[in-house]
Amino acid sequence: MTVNVIGFRLQSDSWLGAQSYLDAKCLAEETGGTYLNVQGEDDLAEAFEQTLGCPMMSMWDPRAAMDRGQ
C-alpha cells in the first residue's frame, strides 16, 4: 500500500516536534508514496491533484464555496 502524506503548514520545529515531521515523511517514503509540505490553500489543492490525480480539487475554490454556504 502506497501512502501519500500532505503536511499542511507543518514545520519541523512546530508544536508537534521534529520527530512527528520525520515520522510522516518516513511513512510516505517507506511505502513508495510522496511527502509534500504545503503552506497555503493553493499549494494544498495542487498537492491533492498531484497525490490523488483529482483535478476537481485543484479547481475547487473554498472561499467561493463558503460564500455559497457549501
- Residues forming a β-bridge with 35: 5
The domain containing residue 61 runs over which residues? 5-68
Task: Print pLDDT tens along the chain (70 aa).
Answer: 888 888 888 765 555 566 777 888 888 899 999 899 898 888 888 888 888 876 665 565 666 655 665 5
Name the grid cell of 28. Answer: 510516505
Quote the pTM value. 0.61
- Alpha helices by DSSP H, listed for 1-70, are 18-30, 41-52, 55-59, 62-68
